[in-house]
Amino acid sequence: MRGRNISKKQIEVFSSLLRDDDLPAPQTSDSEVTDSTEAPFSDKLMLFHTITFTQMGIGNYGTAIAASIRRDLVVEYSRLLAEIGTFSDDGAELMIKNQWLEKIPGAVERDSLIK
């Protein structure tokens, strides 16, 4: 539900920017959502893909910030980037809580090797 609300908000932000410049806003794919109440995939897989796509979106916003020459867009990208970053982090925490995510690889702890 939270992801859906974030998506709706971001679509509205960018659609309003297009409308303000007398440009058409693209249609959403709401008609592609089914009314099924039975999950086609496991919660683990769906959460993994949700986090992955969210992280890809973060990367896209970063690229958009670097390439944009409009200050107003950079402000919107930055604000929305922070919001979806928190959403992605919460998803990772949920995966850790359910023991679906292993320890993330890090640097070798040299002090423990010495002992």
Report how far residue 71's alpha carbon sits from residue 67's, in angstroms, rounded to the nearest whole number: 11
19-49: pLDDT as tens digits: 998 998 888 776 677 788 888 889 899 999 9
Q: Say if residues 61 and 77 touch (Cβ distance below 8 Å).
A: yes
Q: What local confidence, expressed as pLDDT, does residue 104 receive? A: 66
Residue ranges in the chain whose pLDDT is less than 50: none
Q: Assign 42 to helix, strand or coil.
A: coil
Q: What local confidence, expressed as pLDDT, does residue 92 receive? A: 87
pTM above 0.85, yes or no: no
Q: What local confidence, expressed as pLDDT, does residue 101 receive? A: 82
